[in-house]
């Protein structure tokens, strides 16, 4: 009887050990597939139905979210333009910062236009250095200046939806309001561009993204677009300050924010010329932000 009891105890121990091993294996698999920490760029402005407020592209209420402050090394995201024109179902709703060109490529982005005085000057500087940029346009501005939208497209640049009214508090507004701001602007930009031109990105005013606005944009073929370097050119800090911001902050990641709308952009035009000359001297190519590829972590 005692011998039988000892055999039963040993058998039970084997069963317990086997169960523990299985549990350990399952936990290990879970740990392997557990996603890493999410990107921090623009994170402070990604809210649900409301969330944190403030912030504008002019830096008057800089809450630290507009440029992200995190690093986005660019990453190898595939050949430039490889994901352009992909089915809308393949557009992620994560905020893009990396460059399609990978490596140390830089993405030049231009906001708040088109403007009849400043957009042509920006386009001239870009052409001088054979650089392609992403233009984030306000819907009514695009409708008012279709010739400029067409010129942007003809120059090989890409289009980005920057909403109807540049409402930096739209992350506090109802989803229906966000959707109308995004989709009405998209239609105006596309109508102004003509020829089946595509609006490939969506940039929230002041970085006021929400999960809903990102979902809406992605569902309509537009990748949410952040930035890593805020040049603060909107506030006209001086040409040297704008250039200095790029040189000192480019380590944060490859996407740089400039403006061609919202006022006198004399400083922006001069600074952009100097920045592009510096990038050329540094051997750094330019490209477009990722559209269908996951953003670099």
Q: Which residues are tagged catalytic? A: 111, 259
Contact predicate 234/262, CB 8 Å: yes
| 8 Å CB contact between 194 and 186 | no
CB of 158 closer than 8 Å to CB of 83 = no
How many CB atoms within 10 Å of residue 40? 13
């Amino acid at each position: 009887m005692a011998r039988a009891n000892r055999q039963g105890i040993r058998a039970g121990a084997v069963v317990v050990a086997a169960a523990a091993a299985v549990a350990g294996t399952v936990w290990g698999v879970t740990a392997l597939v557990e996603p890493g920490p999410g990107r921090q760029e623009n994170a402070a402005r990604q809210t649900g139905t409301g969330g944190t407020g403030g912030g504008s592209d002019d830096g008057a209420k800089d809450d630290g979210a507009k440029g992200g402050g995190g690093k986005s090394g660019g990453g190898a995201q595939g050949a430039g333009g490889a994901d352009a024109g992909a089915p809308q179902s393949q557009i992620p709703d994560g905020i893009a910062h990396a460059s399609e060109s990978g490596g140390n490529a830089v993405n030049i982005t231009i906001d708040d236009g088109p403007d009849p005085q400043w957009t042509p000057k920006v386009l001239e500087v870009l052409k001088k250095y054979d650089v392609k940029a992403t233009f984030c346009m306000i819907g009514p501005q695009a409708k008012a200046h279709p010739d400029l939208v067409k010129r942007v497209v003809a120059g090989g640049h890409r289009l980005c939806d920057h909403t109807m009214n540049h409402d930096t508090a739209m992350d506090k507004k109802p989803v229906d309001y966000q959707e109308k701001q995004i989709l009405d602007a998209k239609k105006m930009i596309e109508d102004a561009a003509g020829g089946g031109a595509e609006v490939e990105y969506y940039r929230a005013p002041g970085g006021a993204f929400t999960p809903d606005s990102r979902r809406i944009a992605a569902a309509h073929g537009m990748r949410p677009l952040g930035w890593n370097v805020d040049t603060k050119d909107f506030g006209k800090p001086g040409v040297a300050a704008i250039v200095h911001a790029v040189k000192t902050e480019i380590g944060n990641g490859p996407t740089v924010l400039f403006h061609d709308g919202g006022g006198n952009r004399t400083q922006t035009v001069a600074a952009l010329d100097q920045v592009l000359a510096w990038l050329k001297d540094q051997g750094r190519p330019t490209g477009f932000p990722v559209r269908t590829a996951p953003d670099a972590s």
